[in-house]
Amino acid sequence: MDRRDFLKVCSTVAVASMIDPSVFSNMLSAQEGMFKAYKKALLVKEDGSPLREEDLKPHNAYIFFYPYASTPCYLINLGEEVKPVDVKLKDGKTYKWQGGVGSKKSIVAYSAICAHQWSYPTKQYSFINYYPPDKPSEITKKSGVIQCCAHLGLYDPKEGGKVIDGPPEVPLASVVIQEEGGKFYAIGILGVDQFNRFFETYRRELREAYGSIAKARELVDRCVVMEVSKYVKQVIHC
Q: Is the pLDDT of residue 120 over 90?
A: yes
Per-residue pLDDT, 4: 46
Return the percentage of the chain with pLDDT > 90, whole number: 83
Give the residue with greater pLDDT, 31 vs 94: 94
Per-residue pLDDT, 11: 41
Q: How much is the average pLDDT of 132-161?
A: 96
Q: Is the pLDDT of residue 233 over 60?
A: yes
Per-residue pLDDT, 27: 53
Per-residue pLDDT, 33: 78
Q: pTM of the predicted model, to two decimals? A: 0.87
Per-residue pLDDT, 32: 65
Query: Would strands 61-65 and 226-227 be described as parallel, antiparallel, or unpaired?
Result: antiparallel
Amino acid at 5: D
Separation of alpha carbons 112 and 129, rounded Å = 8
Q: Work out the angle at residue 81's Cα, subtended by the Cα atoms of residues 23 and 171, and round it to the nearest 5 degrees.
A: 70
Neighbours of 155 (CB within 10 A): 24
Give the residue with greater pLDDT, 24 vs 36: 36
Q: How much is the average pLDDT of 6-13?
A: 41
Domains of the chain and any CATH numbers: 1-30 (no CATH), 32-235 (2.102.10.10)
Residue 67 gets which letter from DSSP? S
Q: Is the pLDDT of residue 30 over 80?
A: no
Tell me if residue 37 falls in helix, strand or coil: strand
Per-residue pLDDT, 116: 92
Q: Is the pLDDT of residue 18 over 80?
A: no
Per-residue pLDDT, 19: 40
